[in-house]
Amino acid sequence: MAEDKGEGKEDYKLEANSELRFEVEAGATVQLELAEGKAEIFGTELTTNRKCTFLAGAKVAVYTWHGCHIKLSGRTDVAYISKDTPMTIYVNTHQALEQMRHIAEEHVTRGPRVLVVGPTDVGKSTLCHLLLNYAVACGHSPVFVDIDVGQNDIAIPGTLGAMVVERPADVEEGFSLTAPLVFHYGHNSPAQNPTLFNILVSKLGEIINTKCNEIKKSNYSGVIINTGGWVRGTGYDAIKHAAGAFEVDVVIVLDQERLYNELKRDMPGFVKVILLPKSGGVVERNRNIRTEFRDQKVREYFYGTRNSLFPHTFEVPFAEVKIFKIGAPSLPASCLPLGMKTGDNKTKVVPVTIGPTVQHHIMSISSASSVDHNILEANSLGFIIITGIDMEKQKFTVLSPSPRPLPKSILLMSDIQFMDIE
Ligand SMILES: Nc1ncnc2c1ncn2[C@@H]1O[C@H](COP(=O)(O)OP(=O)(O)OP(=O)(O)O)[C@@H](O)[C@H]1O
Ligand SMILES: [Mg+2]
């Protein structure tokens, strides 16, 4: 049963176990109100008579277990009700994880550590969001790890991150990002430097193991890990590596039987590998939309989701910072210095000369205090963009979320660029 709607104000009466799916048209916003009954958006319960606004490009599903009445106003690309959703299967998965949490608490062991994998556009991020929301609603504080360096939900593209989730996500703003732990990777695909990617995944795994040993509640609550859609060849190896680094005991494979069978074959016996269907509502995103989405994430970092933040602009003398990038171009083995292996160039910390070429690149402020520290594995304190360079004055201008001065002096340059234009 599907209804196609267009513009203006529309009322939708949903039966039990159905969902209203809609996309907000480019350049428009859509207001949603729950007039009657109970409903949720990706695991966050809606409040009756509270209007929520969704911005252009948002793809939303309002699900109801027992029926509800929804009012939409604004221009939607497409809006329809579907009764064909995998929500019951997803909630059963949550119940199984919940049981593992109870056993962990009883026996003072670890809660479930879940790796969510699958090809692109199958709803991996949405499922993580849902499982985290349900866990929080049951009183847990799970750790959310996002190692999708292209479409990361914790920090900006080109990073890997982790955080403890203590409150359900806000339907408009997502999870509140209190004290996330973020690492600089510098590219939007793990394929660009798998060596560095795996090192950072191992580092995150180590930190999470230590934290979970210290914080009992997080240990019982478990860890939910989101991944990117790279599942073949080196991408598959990276999935296996992540499963080991986070010591996962559950792998959820969305939509792809082949990947499911490969992982069943290759994971150790104590790891439960589960195949779940994707929702028919998940919308495919082409390359352009992905690029736009990444730009939007960077913009949100500086300006907030609804332009509610006011970033700072100030000048920094060249002499106050040192810029590096990680990874040097590969050299043939015969040209390498004695004792250096061909893979070593991928983790090489290379100084970058400040000049016009650094403009518009995302710069991560490293927590390392000096070049003698392990810069590679130092977490990021935040991000800035160099928006202008004055070679004569030997100063550059930055866009920064915080006022001057920069908290540390080592900057790591990302491949990813951001032009600060409307
Ligand atoms: N049931 C649904 N109805 C409508 N839209 C949905 C539904 N589930 C997910 N979406 C939307 O589909 C889009 C893609 O989903 P999601 O980001 O979870 O996929 P993904 O597998 O993580 O993609 P990627 O490979 O890019 O990381 C998102 O914009 C999400 O809001
Ligand atoms: Mg995703």
Residues 261-315 have pLDDT tens digits of: 999 999 999 999 999 999 999 988 888 888 888 999 999 999 998 888 999 999 9
User: What mean pLDDT is predicted for residues 217-232?
Assistant: 96
Separation of alpha carbons 126 and 128, rounded Å: 5
| Statement: residue 9 has pLDDT above 90 | no
Q: What is the distance in A from the centroid of ligand 1 to the CA of 206?
A: 29
pLDDT: which is higher, 222 or 290? 222
| Statement: residue 2 has pLDDT above 60 | no
Per-residue model confidence (pLDDT) at position 342: 61
Q: Is 348 buried (19+), middle (13-18) or exposed (0-12) by CB count in 10 A?
A: middle
Length of the chain: 422
- Least confident window among 37-41, 122-126, 180-184, 331-335: 331-335
Ligand nearest to the CA of 117: 1
Cross-strand pairs, 325? 350
Separation of alpha carbons 360 and 343, rounded Å: 29
Which residue's alpha carbon is nearest to atom 18 within ligand 1? 123
Per-residue model confidence (pLDDT) at position 1: 39
Percent of the chain with pLDDT over 90: 83
Ligand 1 atom at minimum distance from 63 CA: 1
Q: What is the distance in A from the centroid of ligand 1 to the CA of 133?
A: 16
Separation of alpha carbons 113 and 208, rounded Å: 11
Locate 164 and state its tokens. 């403890």
User: 229: Cβ below 6 Å to ligand 1?
Assistant: yes
| Statement: residue 335 has pLDDT above 80 | no
Q: Judge contact between 149 and 134, C-beta under 8 A.
A: no
Which residue's alpha carbon is nearest to atom 10 within ligand 1? 282
pLDDT: which is higher, 298 or 329? 298
Q: What is the DSSP letter of 270?
A: T
Ligand 1 atom at minimum distance from 118 CA: 21
User: 76: Cβ below 6 Å to ligand 1?
Assistant: no
Read off the pLDDT of residues 337-387 as tens digits, 9 standing for 90 and up: 666 666 678 999 999 999 999 999 999 999 999 988 899 999 999 999 999
Separation of alpha carbons 341 and 331, rounded Å: 10
Which residue's alpha carbon is nearest to atom 31 within ligand 1? 59
Which residue's alpha carbon is nearest to atom 3 within ligand 1? 281
Per-residue model confidence (pLDDT) at position 3: 45
Beta carbons within 10 angstroms of residue 357's beta carbon = 11
Of 283, 288, 289, 291, which is best to mutate to test ligand 1, by the most ligand atoms within 8 angstroms of its C-beta? 283
Beta carbons within 10 angstroms of residue 63's beta carbon = 26
User: 152: Cβ below 6 Å to ligand 1?
Assistant: no
User: 255: Cβ below 6 Å to ligand 1?
Assistant: no
3-state SS class at 90:
helix
| Beta strands per DSSP E along 271-394 | 272-276, 312-317, 322-326, 349-352, 361-366, 380-390
Of 54, 226, 282, 290, which is best to mutate to test ligand 1, by the most ligand atoms within 8 angstroms of its C-beta? 282
Average of per-residue pLDDT values in the chain = 93
User: 131: Cβ below 6 Å to ligand 1?
Assistant: no
Pairing of strands 159-164, 143-146: antiparallel
Q: What is the DSSP letter of 234?
A: H
Ligand 1 atom at minimum distance from 126 CA: 18
User: 61: Cβ below 6 Å to ligand 1?
Assistant: yes
User: 59: Cβ below 6 Å to ligand 1?
Assistant: yes
User: 283: Cβ below 6 Å to ligand 1?
Assistant: yes
Pairing of strands 18-24, 44-45: unpaired
Ligand 1 atom at minimum distance from 226 CA: 22
Sheet order of strands, 30-37 included: 9-14, 68-74, 30-37, 52-54
Q: Which value, to the nearest 10 degrees, does the dihedral of the CA atoms of residues 298, 302, 307, 311 take?
A: -160
Ligand nearest to the CA of 81: 1
Percent of the chain with pLDDT over 70: 95
Locate 343 and state its tokens. 């893979």
User: 124: Cβ below 6 Å to ligand 1?
Assistant: yes
Q: Judge contact between 145 and 204, C-beta under 8 A.
A: yes
Ligand 1 atom at minimum distance from 151 CA: 27
User: What mean pLDDT is predicted for residues 179-189?
Assistant: 96
Q: What DSSP element (H or E) covers 21?
A: strand 18-24
Ligand 1 atom at minimum distance from 128 CA: 18
| Statement: residue 55 has pLDDT above 80 | yes
Domains of the chain: 9-85 (2.60.120.1030), 87-276 (3.40.50.300), 311-417 (2.40.30.330)
Of 125, 131, 259, 278, which is best to mutate to test ligand 1, by the most ligand atoms within 8 angstroms of its C-beta? 125
Ligand 1 atom at minimum distance from 283 CA: 12
Per-residue model confidence (pLDDT) at position 372: 83
Confidence at 328, pLDDT banded by 50, 70, 90: confident
